[in-house]
Amino acid sequence: MTSTPDDAAVSAWVALARAYRLAFATFEARLKAENLPPMAWYDALWELEKAGEAGLRPFELEQAMLFEQYNLSRLVERLARAGLVERCPCPEDRRGQVLSITAEGKATRARMWRVYGAALAETIGGRLDDGELRLLADLLRKLG
C-alpha cells in the first residue's frame, strides 16, 4: 500500500530539514572559525564524557551519537591520535575495546561547547521563546 503525505506533512518536513541544515552549518562554521574540531568530534566526546569512567564500546558510541557518523572507526582513530580518547581492551571481550575520554578530551569538549552553545542559543534559543522551545521539543520527541 502506497500512501502520499499531505501538504502539511510535506511542509513540516521541508521546514524541519531546512532548519536543521541551517543550524548545523552555523555550528560547524563557528567551530571552524575558532580552529576547533567539527561537530562529530563534539558529539563523540560528549557521549564519552557522559558515560564516565566505564566508557563505551564503539557500537554503543555509534548508537548514542546525535549526528550521523558513517565511519566511526576513522573518527575514533582521529580522536585517539589527538589524545582526546583512549582505547582500552574490553574485559568481557578481549577482541573488543572500550573508549574513554581523556582529560584533554574533556577540556577540548568544554572549549567546543562555549562556541557551539553560544551558536545554539543564538540560532534556536534566540528565535523562539521558552514556551515555543518546550512545544517544539515536545513535538519533535513524537517523531523520534
Q: pLDDT tens digits, the chain, 144 residues: what are they?
A: 568 999 999 999 999 999 999 999 999 999 999 999 999 999 999 999 999 999 999 989 998 887 666 788 899 999 999 999 999 988 887 778 999 999 999 999 999 999 999 999 999 999 999 999 999 999 999 998
Q: Where are the alpha helices (DSSP H) in the chain?
A: 7-33, 39-51, 58-64, 72-81, 103-120, 130-143
Give the H or E element holding residue 3. none
Helix (H, G, I), strand (E, B) or coil at 81: helix
The domains of the chain are located at 37-143
Q: Measured between alpha carbons, how far is 43 from 34 in angstroms, rounded to an integer?
A: 17
Q: How far is 20 from 16, CA to CA, in rounded Å?
A: 6
Which CATH number applies to 37-143: 1.10.10.10, 3.50.50.60, 3.40.50.2000, 1.20.1070.10? Answer: 1.10.10.10
The residues pairing with 99 across neighbouring beta strands, listed in sequence order, are 56, 87
